[in-house]
Structure 1
Amino acid sequence: MNQIISGKSKQKLIRITTVPLSLKTLLKGQSRFMSSYYEVIGISSAGKELSDVNLDEGIRVLSVEMTRKISPAKDLKSLYKLYSILKKEKPFIVHSHTPKAGIISMLAAKFAGVPFRLHTVAGLPLMEATGNKRKLLNLVEKLTYRFATNVYPNSKGLYDFIVENKFVDKTKLKVLGNGSSNGINTNYFDANLISSEQKTLLAKHLNIIPTDFVFIFVGRLVSDKGINELVKSFNELSKDYSNAKLILVGSFEEELDPLDVNTLQIINENSRILSVGFQQDVRSYFAISDCLVFPSYREGFPNVVMQAGAMGLPSIVSDINGCNEIIEDGINGIIVPVKNAQSIYDSMKRMISDSELKNSLKEKSREMIVSRYDQKVIWDAILDEYKKLENLCTK
């Protein structure tokens, strides 16, 4: 049954991601916010993170096993289970995120008669695919959009890419606000919240001294995040600048997109590369760093770049959609060509050797994030979209 609040029934809104970590982190806080207006249900694969969503967001959660890999038998099983749930729950909106959840959710929702089927595009793995794999991924993407009623690229670059590749008619497409799926909580990502004691303890633990210049990367340690190029560039930089350090915050993924063997060897052998694994709270790591380096090959609208900016860090990013919308070259960061280790090296060298440049970029970093991507701005834009759809239901 739909919830009854003040005599009025709340419509059901179902949010779906492939893995629960996406529901927990990429949409953090949003489900709780939407619960004031709708009965929100979260669906993803089973796991501790799904239970965390139940507690953190205060919403009901259901599990449907989904795999990020192409697996027809498992995908059909997921499709049937999700269809059965949607027939029972009867939501007025199903809103999916991530590629696999997208195709399964949009198909299941169409078959179940859900009136509004929304899919947010936050990065396209197919951008790096070739040959038959690219053709298959193109087909999956087109099917996802065909069965969706509304498609929301979370950056202007993704919007243009979808239109150029003729995945769907542009009448279905819309970028909400200035982009991003969830915005950034600028009250949380604030360097002033990290005490001097916290910074001193972490720096001591990592053997970082005040004269060090610290670069940081946050994300999955995989090839398509540009880690091979970053590590190669930093390895050369560290030969020229004895005070350079690089913190890698994130986990390795050996199955889907492993790093080159040579890259792994450098990470293990270069004592100034500090691989600290996945961290639940990255703010302290940003707080002891001087510059984010994020040379990814493809993104939707990268949260990490917004987080770093909110913490007052300038960024070196690749010239891809999302990154080149958050960062303005020479204003709050430096934009480099994709897959170009020499450009990454040159930009890190500029950042470490030109304090005037670094301070100028740093000065604008937080201000630009707060004014454009504060979380409340994004949430209100999404809520406004839901309200418009809800009004269509009552006409």
Structure 2
Amino acid sequence: MTAPASRLRIALVCNTAWAIYTYRQGLLRTLTERGVEVTVIAPRDRTVEPLVAMGCRFVELKVASKGTDPRDDLKTLAALWREYRATRPHAVFHYTIKPNIYGSIAAWLARVPSIAVTTGLGYVFIQKSRTAMIAKRLYRLAFRFPREVWFLNQDDRTAFFDQNLLAHPERARLLHGEGVDLDEYAFTPLPEREAFVFILIGRLLWDKGVAEYVEAARRLRAAYPHVRFQLLGPVGVDNPSAIGRTDVEAWQRDDLIDYLGEAHDVRPHIANADCVVLPSYREGVPRTLMEASAMGRPIVATDVPGCREVVEDGVTGFLCEAKNAASLAEQLERMLTLGARERMEMAAKGREKVAREFDEKTVVERYKGTIRAITGISL
């Protein structure tokens, strides 16, 4: 006999509480409004209070995102196992590399059903290092255990298939991004002014192409003094690819970029921009770009997995080569010299594409269907 929805326990585990709060509010609202006990398990940060205010239970988890010491990772595994044994969640969703690996193992040991959501393959598939090789072996071990493994784009799923990282290939599912709230991110007309503003939004990581963005700014500023290059997002985060504050301060001194710090709500910054930029080396399906297109902002991004799912080259934005500042500068110049009518057409088509392919409501229905399949409870 299954428990009623009001007693259903669902856990979400990630290497940052910020990502749960920022990317999955629609899911959290749906679950809490239906009386589900939602537990967020993650390192503590500034988003814990708003998560608790939404009705979530919070459990602090130590995750050494930069670390390679197996003792730290075993502590993470043990902490999750203890939590699962104590609270017996009906289903657990794991996000990001270490929760995917160690959380999947812990859930299996505790006999708790789990889903692994690969939000992006990151450094494991960008770098060719001993650490990346070990991570792939751990993926191969851990992904024996989840009920399903979700991928946000076809390229990532193909990479796991091609490298034989899935013991049960039939459990792989394509989620096609985690969606965006089309009402919250409403279409906003492009600014009418002489100045032109580019903005890069996200954690300040070298893997996001921040160095290429700064170099492109350096190349373009002399010819286009009315153009501003903005950066919005946390600096010095717990990630192997993190950018330090000293680098950002040097770029500011050279008047190459305007660093805007962090923001709970990115919508005013998107609305103030003429174009959103993401020169990332690899993504899942970047929410920043979905939000930008939903609000009617043309995009310049790299032609890599994840970004090309959102950006239709020449239609909703422009794609450039990854790790190539010259290619990025060329596409940025192409965007800022584009006629106002053409940019407005890109804006409208971007909104149409997001509404057609990335509506958050569709993603929430996928979660609800999976929870029903695991627990027998309809939400």
What TM-score does the superposition give when structure 1 sets the normalisation length?
0.87
CA contact (8 A) 2:150 2:174 kept: yes
Displacement of 1:364 after TM fit?
A: 0.9
Supply the distance in 1 between the matched residues of 2:245 and 2:27 (Cα, whole angstroms): 39
What is the aligned partner in structure 2 of residue 353 from structure 1?
A: 337
Supply the distance in 2 between the matched residues of 1:388 and 1:269 (Cα, whole angstroms): 55
What is the aligned partner in structure 2 of residue 380 from structure 1?
A: 365
Supply the distance in 1 between the matched residues of 2:142 and 2:204 (Cα, whole angstroms): 28
CA contact (8 A) 1:215 1:293 kept: yes
What is the aligned partner in structure 2 of residue 150 from structure 1?
A: 148
CA contact (8 A) 2:236 2:245 kept: no
Supply the distance in 1 between the matched residues of 2:206 and 2:243 (Cα, whole angstroms): 5
What is the aligned partner in structure 1 of residue 118 from structure 2?
A: 121
Supply the distance in 2 between the matched residues of 1:73 and 1:163 (Cα, whole angstroms): 30
Supply the distance in 2 between the matched residues of 1:94 and 1:371 (Cα, whole angstroms): 29
Supply the distance in 2 between the matched residues of 1:261 and 1:84 (Cα, whole angstroms): 37
Supply the distance in 2 between the matched residues of 1:382 and 1:288 (Cα, whole angstroms): 33
Once the two structures are overlaid, the 10-residue window that deviates more, 323-332 or 156-165, is 156-165
Displacement of 1:333 after TM fit?
A: 0.9
Aligned letter for 2:171?
K
Displacement of 1:112 after TM fit?
A: 0.6
Supply the distance in 2 between the matched residues of 1:180 and 1:313 (Cα, whole angstroms): 19
Gaps spanning 5+ residues in structure 2: where? none
Supply the distance in 2 between the matched residues of 1:262 and 1:360 (Cα, whole angstroms): 39
2:328 is the counterpart of 1:330: no
Amino-acid identity (%):
24
CA contact (8 A) 2:235 2:244 kept: no
Relative to structure 1, the CA distance from residue 260 to residue 130 in structure 2 (aligned partners, 3 Å threshold; closer, same or farther) is farther
What is the aligned partner in structure 1 of residue 204 from structure 2?
A: 221
Once the two structures are overlaid, the 10-residue window that deviates more, 282-291 or 258-267, is 258-267
Aligned letter for 1:11?
L
SS at 2:304 equivalent = coil
Once the two structures are overlaid, the 10-residue window that deviates more, 314-323 or 156-165, is 156-165
CA contact (8 A) 1:309 1:366 kept: yes
CA contact (8 A) 1:251 1:278 kept: yes
Counting only pairs closer than 5 Å after superposition, residues 163-178 of structure 1 correspond to structure 2 as 163-168=161-166, 169-176=168-175
Once the two structures are overlaid, the 10-residue window that deviates more, 307-316 or 27-36, is 27-36
Q: Deviations over 1:194-253 (max 9, x none)?
A: 9x9xx8xxxxxxxxx920111111012221000111110121111111221111111222
CA contact (8 A) 2:236 2:244 kept: no
Once the two structures are overlaid, the 10-residue window that deviates more, 25-34 or 121-130, is 25-34
What is the aligned partner in structure 2 of residue 184 from structure 1?
A: 180
What is the aligned partner in structure 2 of residue 32 from structure 1?
A: 29
What is the aligned partner in structure 1 of residue 268 from structure 2?
A: 284
Counting only pairs closer than 5 Å after superposition, residues 1-395 of structure 1 correspond to structure 2 as 10-35=7-32, 36=34, 38-56=36-54, 58-68=55-65, 69-114=67-112, 116-125=113-122, 126-168=124-166, 169-176=168-175, 179-181=176-178, 183-192=179-188, 210-253=193-236, 256-259=240-243, 264=248, 267-271=251-255, 273-355=257-339, 356-391=341-376
Aligned letter for 2:60?
S
CA contact (8 A) 1:215 1:245 kept: yes
Supply the distance in 2 between the matched residues of 1:382 and 1:345 (Cα, whole angstroms): 40
Displacement of 1:263 after TM fit?
A: 6.4
Q: Deviations over 1:90-137 (max 9, x none)?
A: 2221111111111221111111111x2211001112012223112111
Displacement of 1:357 after TM fit?
A: 3.6
Supply the distance in 1 between the matched residues of 2:197 and 2:162 (Cα, whole angstroms): 39
What TM-score does the superposition give when structure 2 sets the normalisation length?
0.90
Supply the distance in 2 between the matched residues of 1:19 and 1:260 (Cα, whole angstroms): 19
What is the aligned partner in structure 2 of residue 202 from structure 1?
A: none
Q: Deviations over 1:321-344 (max 9, x none)?
A: 111011111111111111111111
CA contact (8 A) 1:191 1:283 kept: no
Relative to structure 1, the CA distance from residue 326 to residue 386 in structure 2 (aligned partners, 3 Å threshold; closer, same or farther) is same
Aligned letter for 1:267?
W
Supply the distance in 2 between the matched residues of 1:253 and 1:77 (Cα, whole angstroms): 24
Supply the distance in 1 between the matched residues of 2:170 and 2:26 (Cα, whole angstroms): 30
SS at 1:46 equivalent = coil
Supply the distance in 2 between the matched residues of 1:268 and 1:48 (Cα, whole angstroms): 26
Q: Deviations over 1:58-115 (max 9, x none)?
A: 122222322213332222222222212211222221111111111221111111111x
SS at 2:280 equivalent = coil
CA contact (8 A) 1:51 1:61 kept: no
Aligned residues: 371
